[in-house]
Structure 1
Amino acid sequence: ELHNKLLGLRSSRDDSEVNRRGKSREEESGVTSLKSQRGKKGYLARRIFEIVCEVMASEGMEELFRRATAQGRDTTDSELADRMFNNIDTRFASATTRQEKVEVLSLVSDLGMTIDETIRCVPSATAHYINIAKKFNRGGMDFDIKYKRDRFDETKNARFVEFLYRSNALITLPWGDTLCTLSDGTKTPIASVARKFSFSRICRMYRKDLEMSKEMHLKLGRGSITRILKVLAKRKTERMTCVDEFSVDAYEGWKQLTAVVEELRGHGLIGNDEEKAMKRWIRISRAHLEGEYQSEVAESSKVAHHCSRFSLSDPTRKYYASQCAHEHHGKCTDCDQLYLLMANLSSLTDQLADAEAS
């Protein structure tokens, strides 16, 4: 009961009032200043003892403190501190609930000691509980309030999964199924998928997509994204398929472009800086075609490179051509840079071929 009264008093009183009353006590009662006691441990013990006296007799606190200290004149400050901190340590170790542990440590958490000093005085205490006790003393925690953490948001998860499939970050494999457990406990088979991009790149694409659609309030945290992508990690290819062959051909094509740049550098047609710039744009163009470009391509687009009707039409055969109902006056910086890069490489390779022929 005394302990509960002490906690109630300390949580409700104002800091300025504590300083004023503490100063008046020392001036009126003639009690030696606590800060002048030898040893910090003895000072802390007398500080707790003074608070207990104030709770027991708020009006006659000075008289109670004088009589209590007079009866214990044979006890030194160090012995008093050892007994008091041993009792606090025993109470903390025997506490069965989190709230009780925090309340016990709140007696010593606001006495100006560091975490290491508090642990030396109360060996059973931990840094975690000491920090919670400090927060409790500042009034930042109420054990009567039940805190609930929202660990699952179906809307945000659905938005992220929809982005993964729409942005072509996943490839549905033509073989195998994966059993997924739903929230109601039932298991349903879904087609196995392979993740095409790295974690950091998917996060960048996801954030950019949310910013463009103005849906940043549906953004998932990195922890949730990690758990979802862990399920959708790249799986080992079991056999070659048409999709795999296209992927292999594309990979070899980018490697050949890099080899062409290195060969041009070896023949002195480009300098070191130009070689680095071309290799950099090869990497950027590859990332663009594998990621953002696939989500930007549409049947009808004002950007010529993004319009599938225009790009797949053969101008020489009317049976394989289709007219667009719009004009292509849009521009894509990444696509234009790729075409410029290919034009430069073509021009340089022609120069190299002419030089070797001559």
Structure 2
Amino acid sequence: MSQRRIIPVGAGICTSCRKKLSVDVTDDYKAAVIQDIESFKDIVNRNLNKAAELYCYQTANTFGESTNDPDSQSLISSQSSEPLLSQNHHSDWEEENKTPLEKFNAAMKILDRNFPCLNSQLNLPWRCISKSSNSYYMKIIMKSIHLILDYITPVQTESVKKDICRKMLSEAEEDEDNVDEMTESLIASYLKQDNRVVQIQILSLFADKFTKEKLLELIPGITIFKIDAARRHAALTYPGQVISPPTIIRPRLSMPKVLHFLEFISCPSYHQAVGYGSKTLTLSSGAEIKIPKVVRNILASRLVNSYMQYCREESEYQCLSRATLFKILKVCVASQKRNMHGLNNITSEGMKAVDVLQRLISKLQVFGLSHEVSACLESLLAHVNQHLKFEMKSHIESKSLCADHCSIYSLSDPKCDEFRSACSHKHEQYCDECSATCKLDTALIEAFESPTSQPGKPIV
């Protein structure tokens, strides 16, 4: 009561609040409350008396009695008019306090009792709602339009609806064609800018308001790429947000790693110095160094793959990135090998031998070798050719547990003691790639001796 707040009847009051109220309430306030209670009792008693008199009058009329008392007639008229006034006042208050949703549902129920009630108004953007919500609101809208047209033009609903659609489409096209002053100012500022980043920042303010065809028409020299970039910027950040280009930090290369890679590619297995000619190497400082002409007998991609495989095998050495390795190879001056004659006769003779074997496999097909066996032989021959040309170089070591990789064991002559050396280790390992040559040799001998004996047996 001291706070002048209304609480429900029967609501509980905590002990602390009850103590505060008992302390705060003064005697004058208690006397005023008692007086208000007495006044409320008098009003209730008067209303009860009036109600009793009205009941007596209605009872007398029911039994055929009449009264000529003017006071009673005035009392009855006042009592009968008061409910009507209060009812009218209550209905007006309800109408004024109805929400737009309630007004819409009430109006639609007046037109059609079976019209479905609208559960909620749409507050989210139309493009952001789900498919189910879109279909629900479209259903309510279409039913409302049809219902109103049935009342206004009950016979010509379809024709009127077509005219309304044409009118709305024409108005929408006119709105799209109209360019306000703010958009014209933005287009003018866009054309004055020379910086591409600032142009995208300005274009993001109005890129979503027009179609791409309209933007190409309004802004001379604009491209589809700029429109897409502006819309992407508006969607990811905010229209007109300042575009800060990302800071690109280029770390310095580790010189030990660079030297490790240069040492690997300088191996005679991958480079050969030509006995004639020279090239000039220009450094970043401007100095020029003349170096002998070098020929690289392997592709750059194969060289990078071999180096990365070598680093993984050597205790997982962390080498430079693949792109950096390609850039270093691009800077290193070297000619690409195109003809093996005169540079590496061993490789040239090996390539001739592979061609002879290829023709031999084709000839065996004429004498009855099956197509499956010949295909397996050709696949195995191609695999051995690639291994001997590119991968075998990285497998060879001076001391290796694999007999095919050990250079001491491979170069030792078993018949001549002067050209033979004993290995201090055992050859216990086995390499599938290097042993493919022996498999090819055995398979070719078997196919040559009996081409038709095992027509369906695949070569492993």
Question: Does the pair score TM above 0.5?
Answer: yes
1:181 to 1:102, Cα distance in 2 relative to 1, 3 A? same
User: Do structure 1's residue 182 and structure 2's residue 283 form an aligned pair?
Assistant: yes
1:181 to 1:40, Cα distance in 2 relative to 1, 3 A? farther
User: Do structure 1's residue 288 and structure 2's residue 413 form an aligned pair?
Assistant: no
Q: Deviations over 1:78-98 (max 9, x none)?
A: 44x165544333221211333
User: Do structure 1's residue 256 and structure 2's residue 356 form an aligned pair?
Assistant: yes
Q: Deviations over 1:1-30 (max 9, x none)?
A: xxxxxxxxxxxxxxxx997xxxxxxxxxxx
Secondary structure of residue in 2 paired with 1:193 = strand
Question: Following TM superposition, by how much is the alpha carbon of 1:99 offset from its aligned partner in structure 2, in angstroms?
Answer: 4.1
- Provide the residue aligned with 2:49 in structure 1: none
- Provide the residue aligned with 1:234 in structure 2: 336
Give the partner amino acid of 2:230.
Answer: A
Contact 1:179 1:187 in 2 (8 A): yes
Unaligned runs of 5+ in 2: 1-122, 126-167, 452-460
Which TM-score applies when normalising by structure 2?
0.52
Give the partner amino acid of 1:324.
Answer: C
User: Do structure 1's residue 333 and structure 2's residue 436 form an aligned pair?
Assistant: no
User: Do structure 1's residue 97 and structure 2's residue 199 form an aligned pair?
Assistant: no
Q: How many Å separate the matches in 1 of 2:328 and 2:210?
A: 40
Secondary structure of residue in 1 paired with 2:291 = strand
More deviation, 330-339/253-262 = 253-262
- Provide the residue aligned with 2:265 in structure 1: 164
Secondary structure of residue in 2 paired with 1:346 = helix
Question: Following TM superposition, by how much is the alpha carbon of 1:211 offset from its aligned partner in structure 2, in angstroms?
Answer: 4.5
Secondary structure of residue in 1 paired with 2:206 = coil
Contact 2:306 2:394 in 1 (8 A): no
1:233 to 1:127, Cα distance in 2 relative to 1, 3 A? farther
Give the partner amino acid of 1:126.
Answer: T
More deviation, 190-199/255-264 = 190-199
Question: Following TM superposition, by how much is the alpha carbon of 1:129 offset from its aligned partner in structure 2, in angstroms?
Answer: 3.2
Q: How many Å separate the matches in 2 of 1:325 and 1:136?
A: 69
Give the partner amino acid of 2:194.
Answer: T
Question: Following TM superposition, by how much is the alpha carbon of 1:203 offset from its aligned partner in structure 2, in angstroms?
Answer: 5.2
1:41 to 1:258, Cα distance in 2 relative to 1, 3 A? farther
Give the partner amino acid of 1:39.
Answer: A
- Provide the residue aligned with 1:314 in structure 2: 413
1:215 to 1:88, Cα distance in 2 relative to 1, 3 A? farther
Structure 1 segments, 4+ long, off by >6 Å, are none
Aligned residues: 282
- Provide the residue aligned with 2:347 in structure 1: 247
Percent identity of paired positions between Structure 1 and Structure 2: 19
1:83 to 1:167, Cα distance in 2 relative to 1, 3 A? farther
Contact 2:361 2:377 in 1 (8 A): yes
- Provide the residue aligned with 2:61 in structure 1: none
Over the aligned positions, Cα root-mean-square deviation in angstroms equals 3.9
Q: How many Å separate the matches in 1 of 2:446 and 2:244?
A: 76
Question: Following TM superposition, by how much is the alpha carbon of 1:162 offset from its aligned partner in structure 2, in angstroms?
Answer: 4.4
Contact 1:89 1:123 in 2 (8 A): no
Which of the residues 237, 245, 264 maps onto 1:139?
237
1:147 to 1:231, Cα distance in 2 relative to 1, 3 A? same
Contact 1:210 1:219 in 2 (8 A): no
- Provide the residue aligned with 1:118 in structure 2: 215
Question: Following TM superposition, by how much is the alpha carbon of 1:235 offset from its aligned partner in structure 2, in angstroms?
Answer: 5.0
Q: How many Å separate the matches in 1 of 2:227 and 2:326?
A: 30
Q: Deviations over 1:186-242 (max 9, x none)?
A: 1112332323334554454355445445456622229945971895452566x964x
Structure number with bigger Rg: 2
Contact 1:89 1:124 in 2 (8 A): no
More deviation, 220-229/312-321 = 220-229
Q: How many Å separate the matches in 2 of 1:183 and 1:194?
A: 23
Question: Following TM superposition, by how much is the alpha carbon of 1:301 offset from its aligned partner in structure 2, in angstroms?
Answer: 0.6
1:347 to 1:124, Cα distance in 2 relative to 1, 3 A? closer
Question: Following TM superposition, by how much is the alpha carbon of 1:285 offset from its aligned partner in structure 2, in angstroms?
Answer: 0.7
Contact 2:187 2:219 in 1 (8 A): yes
1:145 to 1:92, Cα distance in 2 relative to 1, 3 A? closer
1:40 to 1:192, Cα distance in 2 relative to 1, 3 A? farther
1:235 to 1:257, Cα distance in 2 relative to 1, 3 A? closer
- Whose relative contact order is higher, 1 or 2, with alpha carbons under 8 Å and at least 6 apart? 1
1:264 to 1:236, Cα distance in 2 relative to 1, 3 A? closer
Contact 2:297 2:337 in 1 (8 A): no
Secondary structure of residue in 2 paired with 1:305 = coil
User: Do structure 1's residue 305 and structure 2's residue 404 form an aligned pair?
Assistant: yes
Q: Deviations over 1:139-180 (max 9, x none)?
A: 398555663363985657656544434593433333322212
1:196 to 1:217, Cα distance in 2 relative to 1, 3 A? closer
Give the partner amino acid of 2:386.
Answer: A
- Provide the residue aligned with 1:150 in structure 2: 250
Secondary structure of residue in 2 paired with 1:319 = coil
- Provide the residue aligned with 1:7 in structure 2: none
Aligned positions of 1:204-215 closer than 5 A: 204-212=305-313, 214=316
